[in-house]
Amino acid sequence: MKRHLLSTEDLGRDDALLVLDTAERMARVAEASVRKLPTLRGRTVVNLFFEDSTRTRTSFEVAAKRLSADVINFSARGSSVSKGESLKDTAQTLEAMGADAVVCRHSASGAPHRLATWVRGSVVNAGDGTHEHPTQALLDAFTMRRRLGRVDGLAVTIVGDVLHSRVARSNVWLLTTLGASVTVVAPPTLLPLGVSSWPVEVSYDLDAVLPKSDVVMMLRVQRERMSAAFFPTEREYSRRYGLDVDRAARLADHALVMHPGPMVRGMEISSQVADSARSTVVEQVANGVSVRMAVLYLLLGGSGETT
């Protein structure tokens, strides 16, 4: 493993599999009567969240604590960050605190990359702008492997606001690295202009793609995109790209429905589908802890001299 986990684009197949295999072992820890491991005793993990995300922050916090790391939650709200302190000043503060790892969530694409140039510890990208969210993709791949036994060879369809989705980007790189074939489905306005250079198929027709999909990953669509003319109305979006019961019926029996959360029920996914047996929404949360334990272990477990 490299010293930081900033993106899945530069995560090699061997390292990706190492994370997934390690996460599998971590998941077994949950079965022991004592769930806490002494592995990262004496290490400090800082959760540096410039954007609110209780889900992701809690997941990292549980993961770090299960490995006995000390966890400091440093959220932008109520701190000097909201008083105009720069990212660099914050980095220097964390450095002085002796952070071994910084888990960073930021609204600006690339902020964790910058942070990584200013701190000695490991930086884990917990979502940066519309760039990447690598641990989400790793837990998605982990969930697929647990449910379907493999990622290699799966047909995965990613539906929704790909343009603004860090989850989509991280999944595209990771899943294709692991041998899945990925199709992105969205109105053309919600696909990046450069999508043609991605290793994916592009479709505007969800119905045509569903029957051949092993996994359908629904992305959140923010209502405010409407005001910027990305699509005319919520109703039209939902009719063309939402996953309702009728559409879900076109899926193969084994096919999974995934959602990184938080869901907009009734918009991109109907409640019946979100709560159905093929939905992995709940186990994705549990798997998130295992994957984040694996990442923290692999980045911090050793001496870190192999950078």
Partner 1 sequence: MSGDRDTVGSAGTVGSAGARGQDGSWVLRRVRPLGGEAVDVLLTDGIIGAWRPAGSTTPDSEGLPPGTTILDTDGLILLPGLVDLHTHLREPGREDAETVESGTRAAALGGYTTVYAMANTTPVADTAGVVEQVWRLGLDAGHCDVRPVGAVTVGLAGQRLAELGAMADSAAGVRVFSDDGHCVSDALLMRRALEYVKAFDGVVAQHAEEPRLTAGAQMNEGEVAARLGLPGWPAVAEEAIIARDALLAGHVGSRLHICHVSTAGSVDIIRWAKAKGWQVTAEVTPHHLLLTDDLVSSFDPVYKVNPPLRTARDVAALREGLADGTIDCVATDHAPHALEDKETEWAAARPGMLGLETALSVVMETMVVGGHLDWAGVAERMALAPARIGGLPCTEGGPGSSIAVGAPATVTLLDPSPRRVVDADALASRSRNTPYAGRSLPGTVRATFLRGRPTVLDGKVV
Partner 2 sequence: MAVPAAGSPASRRPGVARTVLSADDITRIVSRMAHQILEKTSGGAGVALLGIPTRGVPLAHRLARRVQAVEGVDLPVGSLDPTMYRDDLRLRGVRPLEVTEIPDGGVDGRVVVLVDDVLYSGRTVRAALDALAAYGRPRAVQLAVLVDRGHRELPIRADYVGKNMPTSRRESVAVRLREIDGADGVVILPPAVTPAGDGAPVDGPVVDGPVVDDDGAIGDEAGERA
Strand order in the sheet with 70-75: 70-75, 44-49, 101-106, 122-128
Interface with partner 2 includes 33 (CB under 8 A)? yes
Among 25, 77, 223, 239, indicate the residue that binds partner 2 (CB under 8 A).
25
Residue 307 near which of partner 2, partner 1, none (CB within 5-8 Å, type-dependent): none
Query: Between residue 240 and residue 299, which ones bind partner 2 under the rule CB under 8 A?
Result: 297-298
Which among 21-29, 122-130, 152-160, 245-253 is the span making contact with partner 1, rule CB under 8 A? 122-130
Minimum separation from the CB atom of position 43 to partner 2 (A):
9
Residue 110 near which of partner 2, partner 1, none (CB within 5-8 Å, type-dependent): partner 1
Interface with partner 1 includes 203 (CB under 8 A)? no
- How many residues form the binding site for partner 1 (CB under 8 A)? 27
- Total number of residues shown for the chain: 307
Q: Which is nearer to partner 1, 187 or 242 (CB)?
A: 187
Question: CA–CA distance from 81 to each of 85, 90, 97, 230 (Å)?
Answer: 5, 7, 16, 32
Among 84, 96, 196, 305, indicate the residue that binds partner 2 (CB under 8 A).
305
Determine contact, residues 285/259, Cβ cutoff 8 Å: no
* Dihedrals phi, psi of 134, to nearest 5 degrees: -60, -40
Determine contact, residues 43/101, Cβ cutoff 8 Å: yes
Determine contact, residues 156/203, Cβ cutoff 8 Å: no
Interface with partner 2 includes 142 (CB under 8 A)? no
Which residues contact residue 57 at a Cβ distance below 8 angstroms, ignoring those fewer than 6 apart?
47, 49, 73, 75, 103, 105, 126
Which among 24-32, 221-229, 246-254, 281-289 is the span making contact with partner 2, rule CB under 8 A? 24-32
Among 7, 8, 22, 171, indicate the residue that binds partner 2 (CB under 8 A).
22
Q: Can you tell me the distance from the alpha carbon of 53 to that of 262, in angstroms, rounded to the nearest whole number?
A: 10
Strand order in the sheet with 201-203: 201-203, 181-185, 155-159, 215-218, 256-258
Q: Can you tell me the distance from the alpha carbon of 66 to that of 46, in angstroms, rounded to the nearest whole number?
A: 15
Q: What angle do CA 184, 263, 237 make, to 5 degrees?
A: 55
Q: Which is nearer to partner 1, 63 or 162 (CB)?
A: 162
83 is catalytic: yes
Taking the chain, what is the end-to-end CA distance rounded to the nearest angstrom?
8
Contact map string, positions 234 to 253, toward partner 1, x by CB under 8 A: --------------------
Interface with partner 1 includes 129 (CB under 8 A)? yes
Query: Between residue 159 and residue 188, which ones bind partner 1 under the rule CB under 8 A?
Result: 164, 166, 169
Catalytic residue among 4, 133, 145, 220: 133
Interface with partner 1 includes 194 (CB under 8 A)? yes
Reference 69, options 90, 49, 99; nearest CA is: 99
Minimum separation from the CB atom of position 243 to partner 2 (A):
36
Interface with partner 1 includes 109 (CB under 8 A)? yes
Q: Can you tell me the distance from the alpha carbon of 3 to that of 96, in angstroms, rounded to the nearest whole number?
A: 19
Q: Can you tell me the distance from the alpha carbon of 191 to that of 169, in angstroms, rounded to the nearest whole number?
A: 11
Instruction: Note the residues at the interface with partner 1 (CB under 8 A).
Output: 9, 86-88, 106-111, 113-114, 128-132, 164, 166, 169, 192-198
Instruction: Note the residues at the interface with partner 2 (CB under 8 A).
Output: 1, 18, 21-22, 25-26, 28-29, 32-39, 67, 297-298, 301-303, 305-306
The catalytic residue positions are 55-56, 83, 105, 133
